[in-house]
Amino acid sequence: MFIDENQTIYIAGTGNHRVIKWKQDASSGEIITDGNDKENINISGSNKPFDIGVDKNGTIYIAYPYIHQVQKWIRGADRSETMINIYSPLSIAIDNEESIYVSSMSSSKLKKYHKGVTYGQVLMSGEVGPFPLTVDQHRSVYMVDMYHDRILKIDEGKRTISVVVDGSENSGTHLLSKPHSIAVNESGALYITEWGNHRITRWLPGSTNGIVIVGDRGSGSHSNQLHNPTDLRFDSEGNLYVVDAKNGRIQKFLIDNSSYQ
């Protein structure tokens, strides 16, 4: 999921092979790419999109792990094109210089592609993953290490990799259970989807305990509950959007300023 400055939501529909754009206050979505339409998408084989990113020009980048490609869809084009060939791309993030970061699900690598460059710089390789990722305004990369229930931070300038949130399977607020996605705000607070605990937790910089901000009533389908959340994003007004996977919906939560810091 991606949300642009106009609060338009872009959704990678893995199950139905589509990327859908949902404008603010719209009652229905617009299909941007349909993996079943071989005339308009430049791929063959299994065409399930896993993640999506959108740059300042409205160009859409889509990760297709089963065909080992990142596809690019330029605004106004009637066909996508292959931008990157990479083994099992899982997650995409774009920084404020329009460099693109791509994590590989099978090779446990993170690569950075500078704007206009088609070969990647390896930022990390090791026994971690799969790792959904995000990048902050300082171009530090935060990654979810699902295998070890922890969050890693890569500071490219300092050439360091550190564990910023550590935990094993549990429901306590100081531990994580199957984290699936992460967002970071301007103050460095981390927001994490916990698939196993059906909740969203916020971790302030340097904290060893998370604060449950959504989903403190267990799994369920009520408006204040989640069931296996998989992704989250903030819009330009600080509202939180969560992919509530098992319930087949996207939830929007109004977060006050004190909670967003």
Same domain, 174 and 119: no
Residue 32 has what pLDDT? 84
Same domain, 9 and 102: yes
Domain range enclosing 253: 167-261
- Cα 182 to chain center, whole Å? 7
Mean pLDDT of 212-232: 93
Q: What is the pLDDT of the chain when averaged over all its residues? A: 87
Domain boundary residue, one of 126, 153, 178: 126
**Please, what is the end-to-end C-alpha distance for the chain in angstroms?**
22
Same domain, 116 and 1: yes
Structural domain includes residue 258:
yes
**CATH code of the domain in which 208 resides:** 2.40.10.500
Domain boundary residue, one of 77, 103, 126: 126
Domain boundary residue, one of 94, 126, 158: 126
Residue 217 has what pLDDT? 86
CA distances from 103 to 29, 35, 68, 143, 212 (A): 28, 22, 11, 9, 27
Structural domain includes residue 159:
no
Structural domain includes residue 152:
no
pLDDT tens digits for range 24-66: 989 889 988 876 555 545 554 457 899 999 999 999 999 999 9
Share of the chain above pLDDT 90, in %: 60
- Cα 37 to chain center, whole Å? 25
Which of 67-81, 166-180, 241-255 holds the top average pLDDT?
A: 241-255
Same domain, 2 and 119: yes
**CATH code of the domain in which 69 resides:** 2.120.10.30
Structural domain includes residue 211:
yes
Q: d(Cα 239, Cα 232) in Å, to the nearest integer?
A: 10
Q: Which two tokens stand for residue 72?
A: 């690019």
Confidence of residue 260 (pLDDT cuts 50, 70, 90): very low
Residue 169 has what pLDDT? 55
In the sheet with 229-234, reading across from the earlier edge strand, the strands are 229-234, 240-244, 249-253
pTM for the full predicted model:
0.89
Structural domain includes residue 207:
yes
Total structural domains within the chain: 2
Q: d(Cα 14, Cα 242) in Å, to the nearest integer?
A: 16
Same domain, 209 and 261: yes
Same domain, 102 and 175: no
